[in-house]
Structure 1
Amino acid sequence: MFRIIAVACLMFAGVTASLLSGCSDEPSNEEAAPLIGESIRHSLEAAESYLTTGNEAHARSILAKVMEQAPDDGRGYEMMGRLELRRGIELRELGLIDSAREQFRDSFLWYEKALRFMEKSGGLCQSAGEVAQLAGLDEKALSLYMSAMELEPDNPKPSLCAAQLLLDTQPDRAESILRSVLDAHPDQSHALASLALACQAQGRDEVAAELASKALAIAGDQVAVRIVIARVHRLSGREREALELLLALPDEVRSQESAASEIALCWHSLGQPLNAGEAWADCFRANAYRADAWRFALRAAEAMADADRESMAASWLEQAVMLDAPDIEVEQTRSRIAKSGLFED
């Protein structure tokens, strides 16, 4: 059964070292026998081991042979897709967002090839959908999630992913999917939190608040659920309740973009842009190694400008420029700050 890929689950469990015994560090120059039957399985296991240990060159070499000699076996294409996916994740973690998206698209092409031979695999449809979503191919992702829902009706994950894609554009459809999930899994905290957002988007704030409270009671310390619930509170005008949830998160979580953004929005709504600026400053410090750290510097600059802290705003703008922020992004930020009148003589 194929793994359902989630960002938090990309590092697969190690395969025993015995699979690698007898394998030299350099590929053999001798012509190998054609791969058939059981030898294909062993080759895929070896490639999995190399993939797990980060030896991409050996994994690619084995997979190239598998795909050449067993072109109708989708497993080689799926594994190659996972290999490219790992690269995309690494690029995204470094803040190279555009490069990561292109890498995700390369990965998705391999998943599409795998699906030609394994279209009845719900797990593969789910994995391919997640990769498509990472690549920005939302329509393809939604179609694959729907296929996975049909193939694995007892698995709530495809339904959750489909509903989350629909929340902003079709909240009524998202609600229908989420209620179906909750009929079978009434204590699914992610479904409850997402349903709260769907109801809120349709103007049913009281229902959303009730669902958020229920989700929070079940979720415990699940970070993603707590951030969604905080968003529900903020959009309902309960910014202080949202901040109570967000500021209780561990420092390393609170300083990541998803949490920092919600924290900053709450402080802005409460008329305290200086605190919003500090939230973005914390986010910058935690992510200064990223190629796109300039984004956080520009957001800190704008918040500091809203707080009438001219020198701090100027300092953050300078920081963004030093990090090679695109000229258009810097100019747009300067323009918004200028409209506030902060830098006027």
Structure 2
Amino acid sequence: MSRLHVVTGKGGTGKTTVAAALALALAHGGRRTLLVEVEGRQGVAQLFETEPLPYEERKIAVSHGNGEVYALAIDAERALLDYLQMFYKLGSAGRALKRLGAIDFATTIAPGLRDVLLTGKACEAVRRRDKQQRPVYDAVVMDAPPTGRIARFLGVNEEVAGLAKVGPVHNQAQAVMRLLKSPETAVHLVTLLEEMPVQETVDGIAELRATGLPATSVVVNMVRPQLPGEEQLLSAQERTDEIARAFARAGLGGARRGGRAERLVAPLLEQGREHAERVELERGLRAELSAQGLPVRELGLLSEGVELAGLYGLARELRGQWLTSGTDGARP
């Protein structure tokens, strides 16, 4: 059973929405989850219609079955102060460093340090125990950076461990990588049934596998509902005269060529042709995703936009699909 769920996806695919729905699904039945945001966009707060998230874990929702969802927006600067206090006991000296601007300096000259702090904070939440040595959170869901840089984001601690051969920095980086490469971590890639997001998803899966990081599942978001008769659309293009006669029998004009019925049929068939092409494209993209050898889940398009009721609906969809698709190490 995975306890750290990393959700990534190309911009515009709705990865933050999927991460939020997954946190709700994982909290089902009285469990407690933590939803972590690392990009500073406050997208989680907007989804749950709450105040901007501070650098502290705050309860933001109750799931079905009285589960609890907490959220945290990780700030790199505050995380660095925590890090310095944890390993070097700097205390007030750390606060002095902040006033001097040393924190900004450190994260600027070492861009990878920011990712180390973000991943480290999320992994600390996974490992944290209460006084009875039980996990504080049953699951931690990370709304992670986009697919194009997810392998680098998750793998940065391995580079740090290689640079710092000994000491607390080395030990911390190694501990984070052990968690990220273990069955406790699942990486879910969110995509749309469009060519660019699917290609980026395929590339992301390959990069994760090349670095030994888990690629656990694909979530196809905003899937439009299937229309009745889609399979007959292509064959309908060959039956213009037959359809025109049917229109005429319905009293929509004569069946003669060029008549009103045929003029009505032509634009309808053109729309049908375009829709049929879209159906064929989506069929090919689904096959490409299935070829990656990962479970593929689909979430329907929210026609009214994303609001709280829709978010809970997506959580039910996710939970239902996980429970009926077998165990893959990431089941709520």
- The normalised TM-score by structure 1 is 0.23
Q: Select the structure of larger CA radius of gyration.
A: 2
Hey, which of these two has a bigger chunk of helix by percent?
Answer: 1
Hey, which of these two has a bigger chunk of strand by percent?
Answer: 2
| Bigger RCO (CA 8 Å, 6+ sep) | 2
- The normalised TM-score by structure 2 is 0.24
